[in-house]
């Protein structure tokens, strides 16, 4: 992705230094606690991940700070990653997940209870970091994020085993589970380094649309696996109330599949379901429609970013959004 790469090149060294410091902050987050609960949190944090939320926080800060990023921002960039990992620890218990980032899920290594409490511990430490930053509006907004996340998880719980989920329901879940934390990450970086309210709102709109595109891309990439894996994943998703956007599109195109998908989620065997679902995905044009959705969200994110003064950091931030659209093609 040459255009994306070029957007990061002028700021690559500075961002690399930020990310090294970030890993140190993450390692220190629960380092002093040797109990099983903290070990489950450390286990997941050490397994890697894309670190997209800290990256957009750091880049948003650099849009308003030409010098080094303040230590306060480095600490705040940890918050998005800590909250994200907390939700993963909880999700793997709720969904009975067995692997996470190509490793056994923390719940299999340390137990369900330790994983739930490890997620709780990460949430508490994240809130402690926000409180120490001394910016009340950031505490208010992170509490709003957590409420939106819980609302989204509650909606998924109510939808468990259903295939008649609307697109509005789908996007409400995406808004809470994914977009909200992207919004907060860029707000924290920009606000801490002097962004005015108009610029903060622009950054939040950018983060929200990037979050939507990020989830849509994840849904799209699920369809690049072999048909057997796709079929298994679809049935598992239905049982957990997490139908992806392309599959929802396919079911809307062929409504008769809804009852069959729900029956399969209840454990009823249907040899032809995988084939018929993938055929409906193709017939409905779901892949092309998902790509268009990602392009539209990317365009909206880039437009929102226009309120931020031009800089190498802004171009790098824009490249994060462009990377999603590029990967979808």
Asked if residue 327 has pLDDT above 90, the reply is: no
Cα–Cα distance for residue pair 65/70, rounded to 1 Å: 9
- Pairing assessment for the beta strands 99-100 and 103-104 based on DSSP bridges: antiparallel
Percent residues over pLDDT 90 in the chain = 67
Q: Which of 8-17, 91-100, 176-185 is the most confident on average?
A: 176-185
Cα–Cα distance for residue pair 158/155, rounded to 1 Å: 5
Q: Quick one: pLDDT at residue 162?
A: 87
CA–CA distances in Å: residue 147 to residues 76, 158, 175, 214, 215: 19, 16, 12, 21, 19
Q: Quick one: pLDDT at residue 225?
A: 67
Please calculate the CA angle 173-242-267 and round it to the nearest 5 degrees. Answer: 155
Tokens for 30, please give them. 């629960």
Average pLDDT (104-129) is 97
Least confident range from 62-66, 209-213, 231-235, 278-282: namely 231-235
| 254 DSSP assignment | S
* β-sheet bridge partners, residue 104: 99
Rg (CA), the chain: 20
Average pLDDT (254-268) is 88
Q: Tens digits of per-residue pLDDT, 186-240?
A: 999 999 999 999 999 999 999 999 999 999 998 888 876 666 666 667 767 776 6
Q: Quick one: pLDDT at residue 271?
A: 84
Q: Quick one: pLDDT at residue 229?
A: 66
Cα–Cα distance for residue pair 244/35, rounded to 1 Å: 37
Cα–Cα distance for residue pair 138/43, rounded to 1 Å: 28
Q: Tens digits of per-residue pLDDT, 303-321?
A: 999 999 999 999 999 999 9
Cα–Cα distance for residue pair 67/70, rounded to 1 Å: 9
Percent residues over pLDDT 70 in the chain = 94
Return the CATH fold of 2-328: Farnesyl Diphosphate Synthase (1.10.600)
| 75 DSSP assignment | H
Burial of 127 (0-12, 13-18, 19+ CB in 10 A): middle
pTM of the model: 0.93
| Average pLDDT for the chain | 91
Cα–Cα distance for residue pair 324/328, rounded to 1 Å: 6
Q: How confident is the model at residue 252 (pLDDT cuts 50, 70, 90)?
A: very high
Q: Which residue has the higher pLDDT, 121 or 278?
A: 121
Q: Quick one: pLDDT at residue 227?
A: 62
Q: Tens digits of per-residue pLDDT, 134-188?
A: 999 999 999 999 999 999 999 988 888 888 889 999 999 999 999 999 999 999 9
Q: Quick one: pLDDT at residue 257?
A: 92
């Amino acid at each position: 992705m040459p255009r994306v790469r070029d957007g990061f090149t002028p700021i690559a060294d500075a961002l690399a230094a930020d990310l090294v410091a970030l890993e140190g902050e993450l390692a220190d987050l629960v380092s002093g606690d040797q109990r099983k609960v903290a070990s489950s949190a450390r286990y997941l944090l050490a397994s890697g991940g894309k670190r997209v939320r800290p990256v957009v926080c750091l880049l948003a800060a650099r849009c308003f700070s030409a010098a080094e990023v303040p230590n306060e921002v480095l600490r705040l960039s940890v918050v998005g990653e800590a909250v994200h990992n907390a939700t993963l620890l909880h999700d793997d218990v709720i969904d009975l997940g067995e692997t996470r980032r190509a490793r056994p899920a923390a719940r299999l290594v340390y137990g369900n209870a330790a994983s739930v409490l490890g997620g709780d511990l990460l949430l508490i430490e994240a809130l402690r970091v926000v409180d120490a930053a001394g910016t009340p509006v950031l505490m208010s907004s992170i509490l709003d994020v957590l409420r939106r996340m819980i609302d989204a998880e509650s909606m998924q719980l109510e939808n468990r085993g259903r295939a008649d989920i609307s697109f509005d329901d789908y996007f409400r879940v995406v808004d809470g589970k994914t977009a909200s934390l992207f919004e907060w990450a860029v707000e924290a970086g920009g606000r801490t380094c002097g962004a005015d309210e108009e610029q903060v709102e622009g950054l939040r709109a950018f983060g929200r649309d990037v979050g939507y595109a990020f989830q849509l891309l994840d849904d799209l990439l699920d369809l690049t696996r072999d048909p057997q894996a796709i079929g298994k994943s679809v049935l598992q998703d239905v049982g957990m109330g997490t139908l992806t956007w392309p599959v929802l599109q396919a079911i809307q195109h062929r409504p008769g599949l809804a009852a069959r998908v729900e029956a399969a989620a209840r454990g009823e065997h249907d040899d032809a379901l995988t084939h018929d679902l993938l055929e409906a995905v193709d017939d409905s044009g779901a892949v092309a429609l998902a790509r268009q959705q990602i392009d539209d969200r990317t365009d909206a994110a880039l437009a929102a970013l226009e309120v931020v003064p031009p800089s190498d950091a802004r171009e790098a931030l824009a490249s994060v959004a462009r990377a999603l659209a590029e990967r979808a093609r």
